[in-house]
Amino acid sequence: MKPGRRAVGIAESFRGTDDGTTESTLAGAVVRADRTVDDFVFGTCTVGGSDGTGAVADLWERLDRPDVQYVFLAGVALAWYNVVDLQVLADRIDRPVVAVSFEASDGLESAIEDAFDGDARDDRLATYRSLPPRRRLQADPPLFARSVGLGADETDRVVDAYTHERRPDPLRVAKRLAGRADDARRGGRLPAESGGVNTDGDDRRV
């Protein structure tokens, strides 16, 4: 892969409760294959809500970076089972989407059934069951992924190209940004939502 090819990683962080009103801070980090951080953007989604797909799509649209080729997500269930519909997201943003996780799992169906009732449960289960299969990638330590818009072999190549430590760099940087921004937002030092901030001319290696 060319060193300048870009991917955006999207991760979240929150402190508080899962009562359907607390907001989680989302961060998107644009990182090149050569590990240069190129841009970033912030947003929010509802903890225990159902706005995850729209919130991620909104983050992408506000970032406004048509040169970004791939979208990485830190899992499919943001902010306490706010499940992202990967196909709907990929169709809306017109980019391949790869949701990466880091541990073996039996899935989220039982947890969703235990945590929710009625339509909230049924809607989440329907979205979760519509997701592409989760599979283990050819990586050590192991990574797991669901992808839309990429075949299995290409998913392996793309994830490997951006992974230099335990996590793919776009997700590692996004997770760190989300945590810092969430702390700042809750401390009143950052607005609830912030648009993209372009770092051209002052890029950083990670």
Distance between CA atoms of 6 and 66, rounded to whole angstroms?
Answer: 10
Token pair, residue 177, equals 């940004």
Domain 6-190 has CATH 3.30.1490.390: no
Q: What does the pLDDT average to over 32-42?
A: 97
Q: What does the pLDDT average to over 128-133?
A: 98
Per-domain residue ranges of the chain: 6-190
The pLDDT of residue 19: 56
The pLDDT of residue 204: 57
Report the percentage of the chain scoring pLDDT > 90: 80
pLDDT digits (tens, 9 = 90+) for 167-190: 999 999 999 999 999 988 888 776
The pLDDT of residue 199: 40
- When comparing pLDDT for 22 and 146, which is higher? 146
pLDDT digits (tens, 9 = 90+) for 78-114: 999 999 999 999 999 999 999 999 999 999 999 999 9
Q: What does the pLDDT average to over 142-159?
A: 96
Residue 203: pLDDT above 80?
Answer: no
Mean pLDDT score across all residues of the chain: 90
Which pTM was predicted?
0.90
Q: Spell out a b/e string for 95-110, using b for 16 or more CB atoms within 10 Å of the CB, else e.
A: bbbbbbbeeeeeebee
